[in-house]
Amino acid sequence: MRIGNVWMSFWVTLTRILEDAINFIKRSTLKILSMGPIPNHVAFILDGNRRFAKKQKVVKGFGYKFGYIALMFMLKYCYELGVSYVTIYVFSIDNFKRSPQEVDAVMDLILEKVELWIRGEGFGYEYGIRLHFLGDLNLLSEPVREAVDRAMAATKNNNGAVLAICVAYTSTDEIVHAVERACEEKWDEIMNSKRVAVDEHGELKLITLGDVEKHMYAAVTPDPELLIRTSGEARLSNFLLWQTSCCYLYSTSMLWPEVNVCNFMWAILNFQRNHFYLVRKRKELKVVRE
């Protein structure tokens, strides 16, 4: 019995030592990475929750729950590294075509976690996170839509990092929405002023690039500098198409619930390796737009 207690004590002590060592290595590595350029805005495509559930032989709803745990770790790493904006692709408009059971599982999980944030029990209050939900929120059920509105209102005065959650979102829908709003705004302006705007060449000028961009769902954040996608896919899947022309895309073969700090660090390292090239491209794009 004594030998058993000794071994148990030994393994508990060893486990604590290993955990402390791993945490020390993680903090040290993040500190080293922080010496280089850090993306101001990181976007994530959370791909692979369903495949993870199938791999683990559990129902799809559990895949999303494990994905939420992975998300909390990724957000923690981002904010510890000094990332100011994070955007996550949670639910596409096209995802409403999936089975009602799967859609309900995702919506129930969103509602559950959003209510935690509203009550101040969520992860975000430690970092003073301000929430934005991007997409056609009218497509959400009334309970989810009301919870989303209350969450944004509850965090609007937070002055820490920003978390933008794309739900009921596609980039094509965002662009169409922005163009429609810009046209409506310009039309109202013309009707009120009784004159038509023209450019320096005397040509008709109804809406500008700036008119469209200010009506984008994602206008609340700067363009992302790093986009991380899991599951080995290297496509954007109708996510932030307008905003990612000069964004570094990092793809890992890991499924989203399996993603870890090593994947995140490797993404940051690859971003840093390509940083000066991306900066040059952004400057060139800015000149073209002006």
Q: Which of 47, 94, 136, 173 is catalytic?
A: 47
Q: How far apart are CA 68 and CA 175, in angstroms?
A: 28
Q: Which residues pair with 277 in a beta bridge?
A: none
Q: How far is CA 57 from the centre of its chain?
A: 28
Buried b (16+ CB within 10 A) or exposed e, 76-108: ebbbebebbbbbbbbbbbeeeeeeeebeebbbe
Return the H-helix or E-strand segment holding 43.
Answer: strand 41-45
When computed from its CA atoms, the radius of gyration of the chain, rounded to whole angstroms, is: 22
Q: Which residues pair with 204 in a beta bridge?
A: 198
Q: Pick from 287, 261, 257: which is nearest to 56 by CA?
A: 257
Based on the residue annotation, tell me whether 47 is a catalytic residue of this protein. Answer: yes
Neighbour-count burial of 29, counting CB atoms closer than 10 A to its CB (0-12 exposed, 13-18 middle, 19+ buried): middle
Q: What is the DSSP letter of 274?
A: T
Count CA atoms within 13 Å of residue 228 on its CB side.
31
Is the CB of residue 74 less than 8 Å from the CB of residue 258? Answer: no
Active site residues: 47
